[in-house]
Amino acid sequence: MASIRLSSLVLLLVACAAFAQAPARMRGTIAAFDGVVLSVQGGGQVKVDDKTQIVFTSPIALADIKPGDFLGVTSMKAADGKLTAYEVRRFPQPLNPGHRPFDGKDDQTMTNAAVGAVVQSASGRDLVLVYDGGTQQITVPANASVSELVPGNRSQLVPGATVNLTHDAGGVAQRIQVSPPKR
């Protein structure tokens, strides 16, 4: 009986340690960057080291997106269930395919999938995205942000730029996705 309790305690400690090491997410606008410490307005600070991966969202035209491209599309869901994109990102390779709620909100979704078709519609251009287990048709209005992820560098970490990053329990950024400041 004591060995079962000890085994259970060890498993619980291992699970807690693994959970504590899961990356945390931070989003926001860069307030300052001194080459080592990145300050995000309302989000806190992280350290940037030599292992931090930086990717840049380079603007592209919706017309540059073709069937077969892999996208991450953040959308708003209307009461009728129709999806309207506010961010479209072309990824260099597939990443976490599927369709799910975004930021824990019922009216926002994230769809990571391959483009099955680009369709001209009355409300704008629609993307048909295909992933294992489903498809989504998403309208992309003219005001949606459309970009592709390319390798980035520290010179792009400037005040006013927006970031979406993950960091470890020690506050060291693991991956930073940076978008240029809005004009």
Give the model's pLDDT for residue 6.
40
Asked if the model's pLDDT at residue 80 lies above 60, the reply is yes
Mean pLDDT of 20-36: 89
Local structure of 130: helix, strand or coil: strand
DSSP character string of 83-133:
EEEEEEEEESS--S-EEEEETTEEEEEEEEEEEEEEEEETTEEEEEEEETT
Residue 142 bridge partners (DSSP): none
**pLDDT > 90: percent of the chain:** 72
Tens of pLDDT, residue by residue over 122-134, are 766 899 999 999 9
Asked if the model's pLDDT at residue 121 lies above 80, the reply is no
Give the model's pLDDT for residue 129.
96
The answer to whether 149 and 89 are in contact (CB under 8 A) is: yes
